[in-house]
Amino acid sequence: MSGYMETFYLIIVLAPLFASLIAGLFGNLVGRHGAHWVTNIGVGISTVLSLLVYKHHIIDGAADYNQSIYVWLTSGGIDFQIGFLIDKLSATMMVVVSFVSWMIHIYTIGYMQNDPGYQRFFSYISLFTFAMLMLVMSNNFLQLFFGWEAVGLVSYLLIGFWYKKESAIFANLKAFLVNRIGDFGFLLGIAAVLMYFDTLDYVEVFKNVEQHADTTITIINGEPWSLMTVICISLFIGAMGKSAQVPLHVWLPDSMEGPTPISALIHAATMVTAGIFMVSRMSPLFELSATALNFILIIGAITALSMGILGLVQNDIKRVVAYSTLSQLGYMTVALGASAYAAAMFHLVTHAFFKALLFLAAGSVIIVMHHEQDMRKMGGLFKYMPITCFTCFIGSLALIGFPGTSGFFSKDIIIEAVHYSSLPASSFAYYSVLLGVFITALYSFRLFFMTFFGKENMSREKWEKLHEAPAVVTTPLLVLAIPSLILGFFLIDPVLSGNYFGSAIYVSSENNALSIIGAEYKGIFSFITHAFLHPPVYLSFAGLFVAWLCYIKFPNLPGMIVGHIGFIYRLLVNKYGFDDFNQVFFAGGVRKIGHLLSHYGDAKLIDGLLVNGSAKSIRIFSSFIRHMQSGYLYHYAFSIIIGLLLLIAIFVHGVFY
């Protein structure tokens, strides 16, 4: 069986890559149908084989696979290799990435059917899947960095897919630049690992990590810094960029400029989950730095609360879901800071399904509304789009953590884990995620009610053409709705028992808050009933009720509230001023520096002094020489006499000195 599995691992990675190359390089040859068939088959193969890998490693309990495929480079006695580490953590991610991507590939057939870049889009999303699979299956930091940068590159291409749209080009440039900031920190962390461990292999690094638990290094003013803290914070800065944590979150809402399928793929299963996965994979390192864990807790808590609040004032249906992603990533990050890595991964898995469902449901609405995205111009769509409405309702329930849904189990565990955490920042994080439950329910059902119920606010022309989206769009919605509802029932037992991820995740005994929750766990239904003794469930219900009051019962109420909190509302609409600050300080500052360098460095110094100055000097010297070369004999005789007199003067002066 193991021999077959090794072949499976290669096929899982390479099938989407080959499909992408065929659709991209031979798109005109295979045509539109050929492009979607070859990429759907490629990702479908990856999905089926990933399910077999999942069964092999998680259900059957097979041993971890850790082998190098080939040595890419040898330098300084260190081998830079390409290889796979397949354990319970990577097997889970392989299923999530490939399955969600496959559903989005199918959905794309309907969503992008009239787009002139049809083949190019399928090539990109298949390449995106390949890059993410390379990232999660890697067994070393080099391959991790390759996948990390590859998903960043393809996201740049996809966010700016409609390259004739100025806002799309601005958005993909913004995503690219912000992620470069995070990647700089990420690269510093990898460099520190290589410098002190002399290897980039995960297993070798984790095996020797205790040797450097007390190692200090000097960075600024001779002050000693913990090596593990420096490495972990550097790596986490990379995660802040990829997983869009404050203040490196600004690129993610603007990524909505890309087509809806790529919004779903970025937000649900690929790029933004990379940072959460990476920190979970590096748990043996992070467990040695309480400073890094506190830092992660604070950043995650700020993101979870502040980004959720911004979702309350968005009117673009996709941007509401985008800010929801930011907030939920904050929840996962908080779990990482509380050393509840298994809970973070649990929420990553459930979130992948219900968030993909919500994005695709939003895309279904956008298709029917002829690419109208403003919820204020919708309303009453339930009568015309019952399947989309039903699936969006399921996704919304999972998002708010309604008891029994998959999101309920994963989110409740995170909140409890933070509550039991002994870190200094845990109190702040706990109340932040607790308040975030109410806010999540409020913005989620604000979207649901404004879109599907209430007054029909669209024009009569659109109203007369309303209908359910085609089956190629609604089928993935129905498929994704199933795990959004029931997945938590299957995963909560192994996650709380500590057996699900096994040795793939390491937690020190003093930080193991999940073990406390696991000790109190008495079964699924007991867990559900026990939740009614704690605030999150009631906060969720309260948010749903307030959304009903504001957008169904008293639809004029939100406008009245905004009239009384004008300044706060404008602050939220301006996204706390992050974008304005970045535009003025960073973008504006760089432009001013560039202008100064161009004016003084390029125009004045290089062109003016060095280039034109050299030419001018030669011209002056040549003019002088030209006047000396008059062609008259008496001029030359006079010059010779003057020269002789100078030589005599020098000679006489030298002798008598």
Cβ atoms of residues 92 and 54 within 8 Å: yes
pLDDT in tens, 132-175: 999 999 999 999 999 999 999 999 999 999 988 898 999 999 99
Residue 164 has, within 13 A of its CA and on its CB side, a CA count of: 2
pLDDT at 5 over 80: no
pLDDT at 278 over 80: yes
Tokens encoding 14: 């390479």
Q: How far apart are CA 492 and CA 496, in angstroms?
A: 6
Cβ atoms of residues 259 and 112 within 8 Å: yes
In the block, tokens 């996201």 appear at 155
- What pLDDT sits at residue 606? 78
pLDDT at 461 over 90: no
Query: What pTM was estimated for this model as a whole?
Result: 0.90
pLDDT at 291 over 90: yes
User: Which tops the pLDDT comparison, 340 or 263?
Assistant: 340
Cβ atoms of residues 330 and 414 within 8 Å: no
Tokens encoding 213: 């638990």
Minimal CA–CA distance to 272: which of 315, 238, 306? 238
- What pLDDT sits at residue 460? 67
Residue 588: pLDDT band (50, 70, 90) is confident
pLDDT at 657 over 60: no
Sign of the torsion formed by the C-alpha atoms of 390, 391, 397 and 399: negative
Taking only Cα atoms into account, the Rg of the chain, rounded to an integer number of angstroms, comes to: 31
pLDDT in tens, 407-456: 999 999 999 999 998 899 999 999 999 999 999 999 999 999 999 998 88
pLDDT in tens, 381-402: 998 999 999 999 999 999 999 9
Q: How far apart are CA 17 and CA 270, in angstroms?
A: 15
Mean pLDDT across 333-351: 94
pLDDT at 315 over 50: yes
Minimal CA–CA distance to 428: which of 299, 283, 244? 299
Q: How far is CA 96 from CA 111, 129, 226, 332, 413, in A?
A: 22, 11, 36, 16, 20
- What pLDDT sits at residue 656? 46
Cβ atoms of residues 278 and 144 within 8 Å: yes
Q: Rounded to 5 degrees, what angle do the CA atoms 455, 458, 462 make?
A: 130
Mean pLDDT across 600-615: 75
Q: Name the E strands within 393-461.
A: none
**Structural element, H or E, at residue 449:** helix 426-452
Mean pLDDT across 267-274: 82
Residue 332: pLDDT band (50, 70, 90) is very high
Tokens encoding 183: 């990647």
Torsion on CA atoms 128, 133, 135, 138, rounded to nearest 10: -150
